[in-house]
Amino acid sequence: MNTSDPRRPYVRPMAGWWRRNPFFVEYMVHEATALFVAAYALVLLVGLRRLAQGEAAWNGWLEALRSPVSLVFHGVLLAAFAYHCWTWFRIMPRTMPPLIFGGKRVAPGVITACGVAATTACSLVVLILAWGATR
Amino acid sequence: MAETTGNGKVVRIEVLRYRPEQDEEPFLQGYDVPFTDDMSVLQGLQYIKDWLDGTLSFRWSCRMAICGSCGMMIDGEPRLACKTFLRDFPAGTVRVEALAHFPIERDLVIRMDDFLAKLERIKPYIIPKEARTLAQGEYLQTPAELDVYEQFSSCINCLLCYAACPQYGLNPEFVGPGIMALLHRYNADSRDGAAAERMEIAGSEAGVFNCTAVGYCSEVCPKHVDPANAVNQNKTRAAGDYFLRFITPKGGAR
């Protein structure tokens, strides 16, 4: 509260703001999925370090990846990534200048769908390449 | 007339009240209001003011979602009271509070000094690119040039987007979604020539980069202005201006 102002305007506190509205809760959840992206980057970074340490270390890392805990963790990561990707493309139409195609504005839903489709296609290509490389 | 309002249906309107001369902090006060299906929340408040408690304060004017005066938190969401209907609260209770993120002046009235000061700073009017005399006629514009900014010109300064923006709540220095929509409305106008000047504000510490793309501002906008789009288009432009100044002698705003 501002006591120096004779009109005594009341300033409400912001503590816990994100719990006040389901929209904000969802925002915090989808922002938090970025932590899972960071976690996976760490997993890959550890792999790179193990690779530099020699064949035994590398094989040990591969072995660790095959453990049940690791598999469950990767399942969770995949789900978080998928949600992260969806929310990223969902907001994308709001973040870019109008896209004019054939004299008309491209609808937000189309932009989101194209983004998700591109991600799905890229993921499949990576999956196929990795599958081929490890056969 | 108003006394006979209603056909047996009653809604409980809980209002967050604050009377600065006697209250230390706001408190909820409930009123039982008879209503008909065509009554808005604003009409419910008017019923309270006329028949139950004349001390209740709130802003309103047009009753048809064009003046932007009656923005308030209705069951926790920023909405225009004239565009929200009492029939849509089947639980029989609706909570009404002053717009979030603004200081409360009294009851449902907020202080909008901050917004008005910011509005003045962005020069919300066309500053012609080239001066024309009356004899030269009007400034012409194609439909495509109009389309670039038209949606942003629909802003009615109702401030719902500010009540939807946690970044503004956390840092009131942030110019905020509504001001950015209006800034963009003039910057994107083909007749205007003051974009560089306005970009000083968009690219400042208080500017567009306070936005974390929550996107709720555009969800609550009653006029489909999409202020989040105005903010984010100007992130690109502000970043461009920042880097262009290294290349061109007088390139872009600082």
Q: CA separation (Å) from B121 to B26, B77, B118, B228?
A: 32, 29, 5, 20
Which of A117-126, B77-86, B162-171, B239-248 is the least confident region?
B239-248
Element (H, E) at B227: helix B227-247
For A85-99, A114-128, B2-16, B100-114, which range has the lowest pLDDT when averaged over its residues?
A: B2-16
- Domains in chain A: boundaries: 17-98
Q: What is the mean pLDDT of residues B93-106?
A: 98
Does B18 contact A10 at a Cβ distance shorter than 8 Å?
yes
The residue among A89, A90, A95 with the most chain B CBs within 10 A of its CB, best to mutate, is A95
What distance, in Å, lies between the first and last C-alpha atoms of chain B?
61
Residue A131, both tokens = 């599958």
Q: What is the CATH number of domain A17-98?
A: 1.20.1300.10
Report pLDDT digits (tens) over B228-247.
Answer: 999 999 999 999 888 887 77
Q: Of A69, A72, A86, whose CA–CA distance to A33 is shortest? A: A86
Residues B213, A8: C-beta atoms closer than 8 Å: no
Q: Cβ distance B165 to B177 under 8 Å?
A: yes
Q: What CATH number labels B113-247?
A: 1.10.1060.10
pLDDT of residue A3: 58
Report residue A16 as tokens. 């816990």
Instruction: Give pLDDT, residue B39.
Output: 97
The pLDDT of residue B252 is above 70: no
- The domain locations on chain B are 2-110, 113-247
pLDDT at A1 exceeding the cut of 60:
no
Scanning B202-231 for CB atoms below 8 A from A yields 212-216, 218-219, 226, 228-229
ipTM over 0.85: yes
Q: How many residues does chain A have?
A: 135
Q: Say which CATH architecture domain B2-110 belongs to.
A: Roll (3.10)
Locus of tokens 């979604």:
B177
Strand A104-105 and strand B10-17: the pairing is: unpaired
Please list the residues that pair with B96 across neighbouring strands. Answer: B15, B74
Question: Is the minimum CB–CB distance between B20 and chain A shorter than 8 Å?
Answer: yes
**Which member of A9, A20, A91 has the closest CB to residue B104?**
A9
pLDDT interval class at B6 (50, 70, 90): low
Put simply, the answer to whether A94 touches B232 (Cβ < 8 Å) is: yes
Does pLDDT of B47 surpass 90?
A: yes
- Model confidence at B10, pLDDT cuts 50, 70, 90, reads very high
Average pLDDT over every residue of B194-211: 95
Nearest CA in chain B to A8: B20
Strand pairing partners for B115? none
Confidence of residue B249 (pLDDT cuts 50, 70, 90): low
Taking residue B57's Cβ as centre, other Cβ atoms within 10 Å add up to 17
Distance from CA of A52 to the nearest CA of B (A): 38
The answer, yes or no, to whether residue B66 has pLDDT greater than 90, is: yes
pLDDT of residue B250: 58
- Interface touch B216/A17, C-beta < 8 Å: no
Residues of A in contact with B169 (CB under 8 A): 14, 17
CA distance B54 to B46: 9
Percent of chain B with pLDDT over 70: 94
Q: Strands, DSSP E only, in chain B?
A: 10-17, 27-34, 71-74, 77-80, 93-97, 104-106, 109-110
Helix or strand (DSSP H, E) at A104: strand A104-105
d(CA A27, CA A31): 6
Give this prediction's pTM.
0.91
At B243 the pLDDT is: 86
pLDDT in tens, A49-65: 999 999 999 999 999 99
Interface test with B, best of A2, A84, A94, A106 (most B CBs within 10 A): A94
- In the block, tokens 């974009």 appear at B195
How much is the average pLDDT of A13-42? Answer: 96
The whole-number pLDDT of residue A134 equals: 82
B1 pLDDT more than 50: no
Average pLDDT, chain A: 94
